[in-house]
Amino acid sequence: MDTAGRLILEKGYSKVSLEAIAKEARVAVRTIYVKFGGKAGLLKAILLRYRAGAFDPSVMETVNRPMRDTLLEFGMRFHSLVSTPAATALYQIVVAESHANPDLAEAFWDAGPRQTRELLARYFARPDIKAQLSTDAPPERLAVYFMNCLMGDQLRRFLFDSRCGVATTPEDIEQGVDLFLHGALRR
């Protein structure tokens, strides 16, 4: 998976073949098909492994801590995950190539944004958390609202990469969490 991830980042998803990945990884193409179902499945597995290193779902699903603390920790972990040069490069590849490669977009969505939104929705659906909220918005919608508050000006970062000097600071994350909570918490 490391070889595939490196090649995809270097050359782009559509410009690297399974044969090239297999050759460099010293495995058979058939092995990749059997284990991952193809290139999209391989990419999805890479993303899930990368994401698993950043998030422990049990923390958001079971631990009783103040909501602000939980969301701040989530925000810090999320930004450490998506702010790396590799994550930015992959996002740019997905945006550039997803129209021609719908499997790429689907693999990225399933392994990344969908998983993140589902984790947040489960958190917001917890009875102890829901009781603190002033809104009847469904947990899935709250997850989207929270991510929007958290992401800030990420479009600029994704478009211009390191050239624009946009960096997300802990203060930015804290402001995003506080903005969300200001609108969502029961008073």
Task: Please write down the long-range contacts of 112-119, taking CB distance under 8 Å and 24 or more positions apart.
Answer: 112/47, 112/51, 115/48, 115/51, 116/51, 116/55, 116/78, 116/143, 116/147, 117/143, 117/144, 117/147, 118/143, 119/55, 119/57, 119/60, 119/61
Residue 151 lies in a domain: yes
Residue 48 lies in a domain: no
Q: Which residues contact 89 (CB under 8 A, 6 or more apart)?
A: 9
Query: Among residues 52, 46, 185, 33, which one has the least CA distance to residue 124?
Result: 185
Query: Among residues 78, 85, 80, which one has the least CA distance to residue 113?
Result: 78
What's the predicted TM-score (pTM) here?
Answer: 0.85
Residue 76 lies in a domain: yes
Number of domains in the chain: 1
Can you say whether residue 26 is alpha, beta or left, with left for phi > 0 and alpha for psi between -120 and 50 degrees? left
Range of the domain at 170: 56-184
pLDDT tens by residue, the chain, 187 residues: 889 999 999 998 899 999 999 999 999 999 999 999 999 999 999 888 888 877 788 888 888 999 999 999 999 999 888 888 888 888 889 989 999 999 999 999 999 999 999 999 999 999 999 999 998 899 999 999 999 998 877 667 666 655 444 567 889 899 999 999 999 998 7
Residue 47 lies in a domain: no
Residue 49 lies in a domain: no
Residue 44 lies in a domain: no
Residue 82 lies in a domain: yes
Check if the beta carbon of residue 18 is closer than 8 Å to that of residue 7: no
Helices (H) and strands (E) in the chain, counts: 13, 0
Residue 72: CATH number of its domain: 1.10.357
Check if the beta carbon of residue 67 is closer than 8 Å to that of residue 181: yes
DSSP state of 134: -
Q: Is 46 exposed, middle or buried (0-12, 13-18, 19+ CB in 10 A)?
A: buried
Residue 124 lies in a domain: yes
